[in-house]
Amino acid sequence: MVRLCCSSLSFWALPGNLRLTLRSACAARTLLRSYSQDTTPEKLTIAGIDYPTDSWTNVPQSIISQYGRRLHIEPNHPLSITRQLVESRFPGFKSHNALPGVVTVDQNFDSLGFTPDHPGRSRTDTYYINEGTLLRTHTSAHEVDIFRENSTDGWTLSADVYRRDAVDKSHYPIFHQMEGALTWDRSSFDSPQACLDAIKQSFDKLPRHDLVVEDPNPPFHKERNPLQEKYHSAAEAELVGAHLKRSLEDMVVTIFAAADKALTASGQAVEGEKEPLKVRWVEAFFPHTSPSWEMEVWWRGDWLEVLGCGVIDQPLLIRADQPDRIGWAFGIGLERIAMLLFGIPDIRLFWSKDARFLKQFNESEPIKRFQPFSKHPSAPRDVAFWLPKSSKEAIVAETSSSGTSAPSSAGGQQTEPPRDVKSEPAFHENDLMEIARTIAGDTVEDVRLIDDFTHPKTSRRSLCYRVEYRSLERTLTTEEVNAMHEKVCGEMVEKFGVEIR
């Protein structure tokens, strides 16, 4: 009987066919040993500042290494060009584009009224530096501070935000949001009517358009989209909402006119798809605006969700020491708009340092459609596993991707039931996404659940995920892909105690 092990002498003494069979198993054992040690350092250094770590720390080095890239202000970058296009429709507004991404839990959640059991607070959704400090999950983390500063009536803010999310062509753990707000100080007017008159005069000065606008719902609704009766009159809320909608309609006219010109110039426009631009307002819910809406735009034969907005929650302004102000706010995902403007098919491209990508864009010239410079084959690999037999904690699989448009999308799914954010599920698919990204980096293109099976006799549950590997710059070798996938499987076993099928 031959003893099989991974030492160099005994392994290489085996026949070639057995060596090939055992190589993966030996590699997996090596990986399990390497991953069995606690790799959390005593401190994290981010942008030259040291932060102590604790049991909440879950920021991988792959995320820290990208911190500070600030693509939204990088000259000639498509995200920066998109930001400037949006800013151009808000003359006189103060722009905040360089606020640090490390914020407190109070800034990111508490100051905005997020409940203690909001799913966005969970470690499965948010990158924590320690229990009290995190990487912002939305630009709204700075709202209260900016309102408290009270340096201008109108402002815009753009920044990188961080979120543990799905792996696919439209989601990345770091993305960019932009928001804007405009308020009026009621205490500076002689009467409530004088304030209303000032808002109306501002509304009348806004650019007019010939958009087809679908807005079938009332300005507010007691159950679906309530008026803040304690703080706002019906007239105030209706006029502020109208001002908001007209301002954002003007913005999308500018954005999609530029997109149409780029399509036509590239020769990619299809005449049958050219229809008049339409806007549809949909009632929505966000934690710190009410009434609230989502804007959808009909463009090139499809309705596109573009942004979220609403009348600012008055308690938020009160927390910012601005109880007399009233106004509106909106939030928009820059990647989503830039992908439409430039025809960029994969969100990973925004992070590329390849000159073939970067040299295609120039902020001093009209917007041009992205020209693909390579297309390399994908390499799909499946990972199927039995969940632990004794697991009593929750299993979270096939979650919907978080949105990037809403001004209050702080991570987590609003439709999830409340849960204790200090407890963790036995398995959350965001953890698999994080493992794949940490090991494979930007060569992992997509991770999705393809099978969910419960054994009829043992009641054991099995999940199977398909991981698509594809480099944007070259063809991956089979050996490279297999090595990455073995590491993913090994990490799954070590971290979650699953049994690979």
Classify 365 in phi/psi space as left (phi over 0), alpha (psi -120 to 50) or beta.
beta
Confidence (pLDDT) at 268: 75
**Higher local confidence (pLDDT), 23 or 377:** 377
pLDDT digits (tens, 9 = 90+) for 175-201: 999 999 999 999 999 999 999 999 999
Q: Is 95 exposed, middle or buried (0-12, 13-18, 19+ CB in 10 A)?
A: middle
Whether residue 9 is predicted with pLDDT greater than 70 in this model: the reply is: no
Confidence (pLDDT) at 31: 37
* Residue whose tokens read 């070590």: 494
For residue 473, how far is the Cα from the chain centroid? 24
**Higher local confidence (pLDDT), 487 or 272:** 487
Please state, rounded to an integer, the average pLDDT across all residues of the chain: 87
Confidence (pLDDT) at 3: 32
* Residue whose tokens read 């605006």: 289
Closest CA to 463 of 474, 448, 452: 452
Phi and psi at residue 57, to the nearest 5°: -60, 125
Q: How far is CA 287 from CA 70, 181, 409, 496, in A?
A: 27, 16, 9, 33
Q: Residue 456's pLDDT band (boundaries 50, 70, 90)?
A: very high
* Residue whose tokens read 């879950």: 58
Report the interhelical angle of 78-87 vs 234-266 (nearest 10°).
140
Whether residue 230 is predicted with pLDDT greater than 90 in this model: the reply is: yes
Rounded to whole angstroms, the Cα distance separating 25 from 207 reads: 66
Is there a contact between 387 and 465 (Cβ–Cβ < 8 Å)?
no
Cis peptide preceding 192, ω within 30 of 0: no
Torsion 426-428-429-431 (CA) sign:
negative
Q: Pairing relation of β-strands 395-396 and 278-286? A: unpaired
pLDDT digits (tens, 9 = 90+) for 362-415: 999 999 999 998 889 999 999 999 998 765 556 776 655 544 444 444 444 443
Confidence (pLDDT) at 200: 98
pTM: 0.84
Total number of residues shown for the chain: 501
* Cross-sheet strand order for the sheet of 379-386: 444-454, 461-469, 379-386, 499-500
**Cβ partners under 8 Å of residue 147, min gap 6:** 181, 183, 316, 317, 320, 322, 325
- Which range scores top for mean pLDDT: 20-29, 198-207, 272-281, 420-429? 198-207
Is there a contact between 301 and 286 (Cβ–Cβ < 8 Å)?
no
Confidence (pLDDT) at 300: 86
pLDDT digits (tens, 9 = 90+) for 123-170: 999 999 999 999 999 999 999 999 999 999 999 999 999 999 889 999
Rounded to whole angstroms, the Cα distance separating 306 from 340 reads: 10
Rounded to whole angstroms, the Cα distance separating 402 from 421 reads: 17
Q: Pairing relation of β-strands 289-299 and 302-312? A: antiparallel
pLDDT average, residue stretch 457-471: 93
**Cβ partners under 8 Å of residue 204, min gap 6:** none
* Residue whose tokens read 């987590």: 412
Whether residue 477 is predicted with pLDDT greater than 60 in this model: the reply is: yes
Whether residue 13 is predicted with pLDDT greater than 70 in this model: the reply is: no
Token pair for 276: 């008049």
* Residue whose tokens read 């034969």: 301
